[in-house]
């Protein structure tokens, strides 16, 4: 009797598992059905994604995902956030736990192919740098032979570091921590001579030290780190939605559309603005979204420049100049294909 029950249970379970795999809805459909976009973010990185004192998430990565939510639902608040470590992030996306990964993730060939993922664009152009203890008296990275380095596990930084030291013929000792929090602690405890990470993060991490003036950032940038949103392969519709949510923000900055003037801009005669805000044309329909998805993104989140300045730009704790993240018309490399 007992045997028969367990057999039946096994058969039923297996049957259910096989069946559940047969019917997979598109990501856009399933997102609409559950009523929010699930975004993977860091567990706390100032300027990129961290909860504020009221518990709501802020940061440039958070806003990038809110733009997707605004495009789909018309509200940037229809996004929910899953904090992930660097090690967990790809598995979370592959397994469908999250819909889009906006977790300052570097676009590389391997990740774009063999992980079964696609990068949709770049929301921040970064590069790797070094934070060193001032006591060492080091001014350049080339003086770091034999140094001990604190680093976060599962990042491209780990590989760049090994490459950099190898090509320079120098030695190093890596201490690999799970989270950036532990990495800073290790550095603060004097376990390492230096800490390496993306330059945008070094300033934020330095501000977490007891005495931030005891450390300094070296001038060298040793790698290219284009950071951007990631989606699963095999769902072109969702890929397009995430890709164009960001492109709309960049185009809006170029066209001078801001969160403040977007309602006035709706009356604009400029056909580019009309298409972007959905007053003419069927751009939204082509993406499987409402006609005014562009308007919603700008109204809810703002254009790219606003998003940048609010989270990481001058005056924020990170205080980062636009640099190469400026629009292509202003000497940077931020450039988006036209909405047409």
Partner 1 sequence: MTNSKMNVEHPRSRPWNDPKVRTLAFQTIAIAAVFWFGWALFQNTLNNMESRGISTGFGFLDQSAGFGIIMSLIPYDATMSYGRTFWVGLLNTLLVSAMGVVTATVLGFIIGVARLSSNWVVSKLALVYVETIRNIPLLLQIFFWYFAVLRSLPSPRMSVDMGGLVFLNNRGLYLPDPIAEPGFGWVTAAAVIAITATVVMQRWAKKRQLKTGQLFPSFRVGLAVVVGLPLLAYLATGGPVSWEIPALQGFNFGGGITIIPELAALWVALSLYTASFIAEIVRSGILSVSHGQTEAAGALGLRSGLTLRLVVIPQAMRVIIPPLTSQYLNLVKNSSLATAIGYPDLVAVFMGTTLNQTGQAVEVVAITMAVYLTISLVISFFMNIYNRAVALQER
Given the rule CB under 8 A, which residues bind partner 1? Answer: 3, 6-7, 10-11, 14, 17-18, 21, 86-87, 90-91, 94, 110-111, 113-116, 135-136, 144-148, 150, 153-155, 158-159, 161-163, 165-166, 172-178, 182, 185-186, 189-191, 193, 232-234
CB of residue 329 to partner 1, shortest distance in Å: 36
User: For partner 1, which is the closer residue by CB, 162 or 209?
Assistant: 162
Q: Single out the residue of 68, 154, 146 nearest to residue 104, CA to CA.
A: 154
d(CA 62, CA 51): 10
- Asked if 160 and 222 touch (Cβ cutoff 8 Å), the reply is yes
Burial of 125 (0-12, 13-18, 19+ CB in 10 A): middle
- Which region, left, alpha or beta, applies to residue 55 given φ > 0 means left and ψ of -120 to 50 means alpha? left
d(CA 240, CA 297): 15
CB of residue 225 to partner 1, shortest distance in Å: 15
User: For partner 1, which is the closer residue by CB, 30 or 94?
Assistant: 94
CB of residue 304 to partner 1, shortest distance in Å: 29
CB of residue 287 to partner 1, shortest distance in Å: 22
- Asked if 79 and 301 touch (Cβ cutoff 8 Å), the reply is no
User: For partner 1, which is the closer residue by CB, 74 or 174?
Assistant: 174
User: For partner 1, which is the closer residue by CB, 175 or 291?
Assistant: 175
d(CA 154, CA 169): 24
CA torsion angle for 233, 234, 238, 239 (degrees, to 10)? 50
CB of residue 189 to partner 1, shortest distance in Å: 4
User: For partner 1, which is the closer residue by CB, 10 or 324?
Assistant: 10
């Amino acid at each position: 009797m007992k045997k028969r029950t367990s057999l039946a249970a096994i058969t039923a379970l297996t049957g259910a598992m096989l069946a559940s795999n047969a019917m997979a809805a598109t990501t856009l459909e399933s997102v609409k059905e559950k009523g929010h976009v699930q975004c993977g973010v860091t567990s706390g990185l100032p300027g990129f994604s961290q909860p504020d004192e009221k518990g709501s998430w802020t940061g440039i990565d958070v806003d990038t995902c809110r733009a997707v939510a605004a495009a789909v639902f018309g509200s940037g608040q229809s996004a929910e956030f899953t904090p992930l470590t660097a090690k967990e992030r790809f598995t979370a996306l592959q397994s469908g736990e999250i819909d889009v990964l906006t977790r300052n993730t570097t676009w590389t060939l391997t990740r774009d192919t063999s992980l079964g993922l696609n990068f949709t664009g770049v929301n921040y152009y970064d590069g790797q740098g070094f934070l060193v203890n001032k006591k060492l008296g080091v001014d350049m990275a080339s003086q770091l032979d034999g140094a001990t380095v604190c680093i976060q596990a599962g990042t491209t930084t780990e590989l760049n570091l090994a490459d950099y030291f190898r090509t320079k013929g120098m030695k190093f000792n890596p201490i690999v921590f799970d989270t950036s929090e532990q990495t800073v602690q290790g550095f603060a405890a004097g376990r390492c001579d230096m800490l390496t990470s993306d330059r945008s993060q070094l300033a934020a991490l330095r501000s977490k030290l007891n005495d931030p003036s005891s450390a300094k950032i070296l001038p060298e940038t040793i790698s290219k780190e284009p950071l951007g949103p990631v989606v699963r392969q095999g769902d072109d519709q969702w890929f397009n939605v995430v890709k164009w949510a960001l492109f709309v923000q960049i185009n809006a900055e170029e066209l001078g559309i801001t969160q403040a003037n977007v309602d006035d801009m709706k009356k604009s005669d400029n056909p580019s603005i009309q298409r972007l805000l959905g007053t003419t044309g069927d751009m939204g329909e082509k993406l499987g979204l409402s006609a005014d998805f562009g308007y919603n993104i700008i109204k809810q989140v703002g254009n790219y420049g606003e998003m940048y300045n609010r989270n990481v730009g001058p005056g924020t704790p990170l205080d980062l100049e636009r640099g190469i993240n400026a629009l292509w018309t202003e000497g940077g490399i931020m450039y988006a294909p036209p909405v047409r």
